[in-house]
Amino acid sequence: MVPFILCLLPALLATTNAQAQSTKCLQCSGSADSSCQPAAGTCPVTAGTGGCIKVAEENTLIGEKTTGFARSCLADYNSGINAAITYTAGNGKYLRINTNRCNNADNCNSGTLAVPTVDAAANGLQCPTCFALNSDPCDSQITPCTGDEKYCIDFAGTLTKGSTVSTFVAKGCATASTKDIQPGTSLVSAVYTFMFTKVSSQAAEKITPTTKPPAAATKPTTATTSGASPALGRFSFALYLPGLTGLLLVKLLA
């Protein structure tokens, strides 16, 4: 009996050790409630390498405004972006994502997370902007940037919602946090999952003031004496003087 227990002991110790090294995370997917309800229980991750995540998102990329909140587990704690991202595509289309990761305690992804806001004040920069699904390229136009969106992005990849997968191309004004996005990485939001195949992020250009064209010169007008021919001008009286003199002499001699 003792040898049998000794044989089971390594397995029991391994199981106990594995349980001690796991971390629990709260789960909630696509909730419209900022407290991410209803909750969907917990999920385990390996302590040290895995972690927990919570996300708050608002976007109008597909049409009407969608707001969502989520909590989940991360197999790789160091994957993805642990910062707020905002992107403006012009024509009323934008993406706002706030992501927070943690691995310091069980259920560390509790609490609420706010959707990031964007200052509407122009910052003097500009970028080509557009967003299109299942189309490449998208028809871009130059748009002034606002707030902290001081970088121009040029991204392409796939966008997944449930079982629906679409390709996308995107250009626009974005925050500096988009520089951390690399090709082959994914961005899990509360509503969509973005997988990037093409990534470019660079400082936005300053808006160049447009120079107004000079006003057209007005042609000076020549004043004319009332009753005188414009063709004769001021010399018209001199032309009639000999005739008037002759008539006067005839009158005097008569």
User: Model confidence over 25-41: pLDDT tens digits?
Assistant: 999 988 888 888 888 89
Domain range for 77: 24-204
54 contacts 47 by C-beta, under 8 angstroms: no
Which of the residue ranges 134-138, 151-155, 219-223 has the most confident prediction, judged by mean pLDDT? 151-155
Give the per-residue pLDDT at 204: 96
206 has which bridge partners? 125
The per-residue pLDDT of the chain, averaged, comes to 80
Please, which pLDDT band fits residue 58 given cuts at 50, 70 and 90? very high
In a domain, residue 218? The reply is: no
Tell me the average pLDDT across 100-113.
Answer: 91
Give the per-residue pLDDT at 35: 86
Give the per-residue pLDDT at 171: 96
pLDDT higher than 80, residue 146: yes
In a domain, residue 251? The reply is: no
Distance, in Å, from the CA atom of 197 to the CA atom of 213, rounded to the nearest integer, reads 45
Give the per-residue pLDDT at 208: 84
In a domain, residue 156? The reply is: yes
CA geometry: angle 165, 166, 171, nearest 5 deg = 140
pLDDT higher than 80, residue 18: no
Regarding pTM above 0.85, the answer is no
In a domain, residue 46? The reply is: yes
CB atoms within 10 A of CB 175: 22
Give the per-residue pLDDT at 33: 85
CA geometry: angle 20, 25, 28, nearest 5 deg = 160
pLDDT tens-digit readout, 168-216: 999 999 999 998 888 988 887 888 889 999 999 999 999 987 645 555 5
pLDDT higher than 80, residue 142: yes
In a domain, residue 11? The reply is: no
Q: Name the domain count of the chain.
A: 1
Proportion of the chain above pLDDT 70, given as a percent: 74
Give the per-residue pLDDT at 63: 83
Give the per-residue pLDDT at 12: 45
Is 171 or 233 the better-scoring residue by pLDDT? 171
pLDDT higher than 70, residue 53: yes
Is 241 or 44 the better-scoring residue by pLDDT? 44
In a domain, residue 55? The reply is: yes
SS3 169: strand
In a domain, residue 193? The reply is: yes
In a domain, residue 217? The reply is: no
Distance, in Å, from the CA atom of 249 to the CA atom of 247, rounded to the nearest integer, reads 6
Proportion of the chain above pLDDT 90, given as a percent: 47
pLDDT higher than 50, residue 250: no
